[in-house]
Structure 1
């Protein structure tokens, strides 16, 4: 019986052993493959797009621009012109290519979900799970307000697939996406055929955009929106510099009174539909005599003026967009307590003419490009308490370079931009740099923590008046702080840099490196290369091991070096390197002088007074004339036989 009971136990043990062996073998094979393949797959780059796909997406962006211009033209002219235009002052629908566009016209009360259900019962439908599927474009016209909110929670799925996509665009209106902390509002792209979010951008993808006006987004989860360009990138509040609708005459169009409208109608009836005094016309073509141009009613436009958008994004999460958040031509920007991740391009982008804004407590992680971008022509943007982690490019990029360097087709200014800052933020494990400053002026990089990356903080491209103060940098592959390529008036002060090859690297720039602490450096603590005249390295504490603590062997110009604490530095340079440090022209000259003195002293040892050997000997005794020297008698040696015994050896004559 005992033997029969033992058999099943042995069988189970064998099965368990076999499973363990298989798992161990599989795990070992996987680890082996990962090791020799370089680890997990690398994140695709921003530009990893096939040419034909890029061309198709660019064409879709152009088509969207054309559609919006057509809708705007109709929306600008249709409500003007008298009684016939009254119907155009109510919401209406336009046939715009592959999908319809619902135009929400101006009114005092905001449009809500209930209004959309009434206005678009076939294209704004409720699904079984309580979400809504939108299958046509929505255009919020100037003066209109669209409030996407529902007390019980709201999920809007924007149709997006191989057959086309839809969008929500406001032009000069107010677009609000509002949820709650308990039940956030959700907006995503949606492929009705697969019943999944649309992750294929090659055929375009649904997006949300605000052109001018006001954009508010609070307690909202947005995902998998946008494609190719910034303005179609997902969540895109953008301004415009195109003409606003109005009047060529000051004051805009005038409204007719009831009596005036009655008189106008009577004249049209009497003249067969043509008002008296009007020139002949055929359809939309009007004949006019030479002279002053007569502007037809309803086609007036104002002089072009800039229309900035105001942006407010809080307590939200954005995942999988082309651009996480793309803002341009905006004045008054506030982004706070928001998380952006897995964007196909960059996380948060402040594009041209975005100004007067703050980005606070915002996290941008695992984006293919940079975490945060403050592009050219961006001013007075403050990034505070934010985190950029695991991005393919930089953690933070601040570009203050001018839009042009001389006359250009667009006529842009050649002035630099600036007054931006990154403070109390974290850049961790980004593919390129932690924080990069490209040109500009009056830029602050203060009290940040930068971990990993190729370099920590990089300032270049002629930036000026940059303050790099109080940052902590750890584990960069090359340099902790790099200042190069024509940077002037910059201070690197009070930073703590650990475990890098070179703590502070200065090339071709004028920088004050003061009061920094460098620990664990393996090459140099501070390095100066190129024309660095006027720079200084003072009151720094440097510890580590390498060729030198403060290196300026490859630099030109005067560099002030004083009060640096280098007692913790271990010099690991070779003997020849140490010798070369002293092979300077002046050192060689002085060495020659000392060598000449020493050689002369050695050669004259036997010519001086023989103190202790012969007293009172004249120091120039050997320089006397021959007749004045004392005569010394030389004795002859006695004759001796030659060694071979052949005869007497020739006597040796001693010189006298």
Structure 2
């Protein structure tokens, strides 16, 4: 049933009142690569015209939700019971069924009764939804049937529908034997909608609670994170909506009478813009001095599959996130994206594979997130991206804080066959990368961009094209211990950072075992076992800053460097100094030999420097004859 004249006029009044204070619900569209900041922003393969159309569709969705929210905030102020029951809004581009707060959750049976023409059971047992559903704060919707439910959300070139919960409770529940199936559906083509260029159906929870068990979601979403398929976001707007002061009250009564009809005695005194009101609670809050409360969404997802979405799973402004035993695959962009202000989250035993961007992203402003026992496989970007960089580096238009974020970890997980890095840490503090298995990719584990206190321990890294473990670009207090690096060109690479490299095993390296480059003050390389073939096991000639290198075992390294490379390696300033002194001594000795050359044809000799100080030689004894011996008696004569 279409809205009545009263509903239309009330809605227009509410919109006029709310336009001055309502802002767009979502942030900027997440849409570029982790290398630009770890926010899941990807370059998308669309023409400028196609990109413009999709961006306009996202803006139109924001406007529609703002309109719906404004009306749902104003409607209860009319009084009566009509607005406490579910009602429908005509938003121009289609209908929106508004589910209001009640104690029991709305079910499939309720939807069949409330929307008999737009929620229709098909001949194959599935249900086709052809209007938007909006949950008011406190409303509950549970999509589940004992024998299994297949929900097809209309999505075609003519338009698409959405299910949006604003501060409500949305539950998608199947069973192991009969999982819940939700997909976009093109009624004209009788198949899922795989074309995102004209928009696509999506599910979104803004604040409130979201729970999903044994559910398969496929081919939803387009362009932005908040319309990306399955989007779970908080909001920094007031939960009760925003209205603009005393004049926002509707002028019509519930029955549609003219303004002021039957209420002449209750009309308050008024003079111009000044109206007398009684004391006590305000019927209409004055929002000029109201500070909005943060409204986070809480998330619990288990034993589910998500495939073919624009963004597999997009979460922002959430607290208490629990994701387990779930598979996210074939997303056009990233798989699991924790965008901003996600805290106290646990992601475990979850697989993210074959996505167009990164497998898992912990974006800036996420903290206290634990990723455990997960697998990132065959993604076009990184397997895991962990960013703790600040939202701003100084004064900014949005006034964002300049502090870093941290206390995130990736542990006991697998990254294999990803197009870029296995695990990348971008800034932040107190980050743990522990006991993971990383196979293939350009690099295995990378920490960079001023990260502080990064622990890279107990990982097995194999088959990288360049570096197995790389710590570079201003990282402080990094610990690289107990790792096994096999088959990388350079096992461990430290550049312009401070790191302790201790107790690692490096095998089959083809360039360097451990390489230190640039300013690496206080770095320590000790007790490592290094084997391979290349120019050097320990490459430290390009570093400065007072490093400590000792007790490393390099006997299994075959040095392939050239003669001049070895000369350069050993030609340190101190070595050159001592060599120069030795050459000077030899030169002076030879000059002395030349000065005392050959005399009278005798062989040259080296004259003793104190030859003129020697004592005179003692002459032989002389015999003095006596009378008896007639000159034959020998008398020794001592020379003076």
Are the counterparts in 1 of residues 268 and 276 from structure 2 also a CA contact under 8 Å? no
Partner in structure 1 of residue 171 of structure 2: 176
Structure 1 CA distance for aligned equivalents of residues 395 and 294 of structure 2: 22
Shift of 1:434: 0.4
Partner in structure 2 of residue 387 of structure 1: 375
1:507 is the counterpart of 2:495: yes
Deviation readout 1:73-116 (Å, 9 max, x if unpaired): 11111012333xx2011000000122100000000010000000
Are the counterparts in 1 of residues 69 and 241 from structure 2 also a CA contact under 8 Å? no
**Structure 1 pair 430/269, CA: closer, same or farther in 2 (3 Å)?**
closer
Q: In the comparison of the two structures, how many residue pairs are matched?
A: 554
**Structure 1 pair 605/236, CA: closer, same or farther in 2 (3 Å)?**
same
**Structure 1 pair 272/513, CA: closer, same or farther in 2 (3 Å)?**
same
Partner in structure 2 of residue 48 of structure 1: 45
SS at match of 1:553: coil
Are the counterparts in 2 of residues 608 and 619 from structure 1 also a CA contact under 8 Å? no
SS at match of 1:587: helix
Q: 1:557 aligns with which of 530, 545, 551?
A: 545
Does 1 or 2 have the higher relative contact order (CA < 8 Å, sep 6+)? 2
**Structure 1 pair 327/247, CA: closer, same or farther in 2 (3 Å)?**
closer
TM, length-normalised to structure 1:
0.80
Structure 2 CA distance for aligned equivalents of residues 125 and 299 of structure 1: 41
SS at match of 2:60: helix
Are the counterparts in 2 of residues 89 and 105 from structure 1 also a CA contact under 8 Å? yes
1:106 is the counterpart of 2:101: yes
**Structure 1 pair 231/621, CA: closer, same or farther in 2 (3 Å)?**
closer
1:405 is the counterpart of 2:393: yes
1:289 is the counterpart of 2:269: no
Partner in structure 2 of residue 144 of structure 1: 139
Are the counterparts in 2 of residues 102 and 138 from structure 1 also a CA contact under 8 Å? yes
1:322 is the counterpart of 2:310: yes
Shift of 1:619: 6.0
Shift of 1:49: 1.8
1:60 is the counterpart of 2:30: no
Q: 1:272 aligns with which of 237, 240, 262?
A: 262
Structure 2 CA distance for aligned equivalents of residues 540 and 155 of structure 1: 57
Deviation readout 1:30-75 (Å, 9 max, x if unpaired): xxxxxxxxxxxxxxx7422211111111111111111111111111
Q: Structure 2 matches for 1:237-276, cutoff 5 A?
A: 237-245=232-240, 272-276=262-266
Partner in structure 2 of residue 79 of structure 1: 76
**Structure 1 pair 406/272, CA: closer, same or farther in 2 (3 Å)?**
same
Name which of structure 1's ranges 363-372 and 588-597 shifts more when overlaid on structure 2. 588-597
Q: Structure 2 matches for 1:347-366, cutoff 5 A?
A: 347-366=335-354
Structure 2 CA distance for aligned equivalents of residues 437 and 356 of structure 1: 19
Q: 1:517 aligns with which of 496, 505, 527?
A: 505
Q: 1:212 aligns with which of 207, 218, 221?
A: 207
Structure 2 CA distance for aligned equivalents of residues 596 and 245 of structure 1: 90
Are the counterparts in 1 of residues 70 and 241 from structure 2 also a CA contact under 8 Å? no
Structure 1 CA distance for aligned equivalents of residues 47 and 266 of structure 2: 62
Shift of 1:596: 2.5
1:156 is the counterpart of 2:151: yes
Partner in structure 2 of residue 198 of structure 1: 193
Structure 1 CA distance for aligned equivalents of residues 278 and 484 of structure 2: 71
Partner in structure 1 of residue 402 of structure 2: 414
Shift of 1:121: 0.3
1:457 is the counterpart of 2:445: yes
Q: 2:536 aligns with which of 516, 536, 548?
A: 548
SS at match of 2:77: coil
Partner in structure 2 of residue 260 of structure 1: none
Q: Structure 2 matches for 1:591-606, cutoff 5 A?
A: 591-602=579-590, 604=592
SS at match of 1:592: helix
Shift of 1:603: 5.1
Are the counterparts in 2 of residues 447 and 469 from structure 1 also a CA contact under 8 Å? yes
1:590 is the counterpart of 2:578: yes
Partner in structure 1 of residue 227 of structure 2: 232
**Structure 1 pair 593/207, CA: closer, same or farther in 2 (3 Å)?**
same
Name which of structure 1's ranges 227-236 and 595-604 shifts more when overlaid on structure 2. 595-604
Partner in structure 2 of residue 133 of structure 1: 128
Structure 2 CA distance for aligned equivalents of residues 534 and 293 of structure 1: 72
Structure 1 CA distance for aligned equivalents of residues 303 and 498 of structure 2: 42
Q: 1:443 aligns with which of 423, 431, 434?
A: 431
Deviating beyond 3 angstroms after TM superposition, the runs of 4 or more aligned structure 1 residues are 268-275, 290-303, 599-610, 616-623
Are the counterparts in 1 of residues 260 and 267 from structure 2 also a CA contact under 8 Å? no
Shift of 1:582: 2.4
Structure 2 CA distance for aligned equivalents of residues 207 and 269 of structure 1: 40
Are the counterparts in 2 of residues 244 and 303 from structure 1 also a CA contact under 8 Å? no
Where structure 2 has 5 or more consecutive residues not aligned to the other structure, the ranges are 1-41, 244-253, 613-640
1:578 is the counterpart of 2:566: yes
Are the counterparts in 2 of residues 168 and 208 from structure 1 also a CA contact under 8 Å? yes
**Structure 1 pair 270/401, CA: closer, same or farther in 2 (3 Å)?**
closer
Partner in structure 2 of residue 637 of structure 1: none
Partner in structure 1 of residue 478 of structure 2: 490
Structure 2 CA distance for aligned equivalents of residues 599 and 245 of structure 1: 94
Shift of 1:617: 12
Partner in structure 2 of residue 90 of structure 1: 85
1:165 is the counterpart of 2:160: yes
Structure 1 CA distance for aligned equivalents of residues 581 and 482 of structure 2: 45
Shift of 1:154: 0.2
Structure 2 CA distance for aligned equivalents of residues 127 and 271 of structure 1: 48
**Structure 1 pair 617/65, CA: closer, same or farther in 2 (3 Å)?**
closer
SS at match of 1:110: coil
Shift of 1:588: 1.9
Shift of 1:303: 3.7
Shift of 1:360: 0.3
Structure 2 CA distance for aligned equivalents of residues 619 and 548 of structure 1: 48
Deviation readout 1:273-298 (Å, 9 max, x if unpaired): 44434257xxxxx9532799999845
SS at match of 1:79: helix
Q: 1:481 aligns with which of 436, 444, 469?
A: 469
**Structure 1 pair 503/269, CA: closer, same or farther in 2 (3 Å)?**
closer
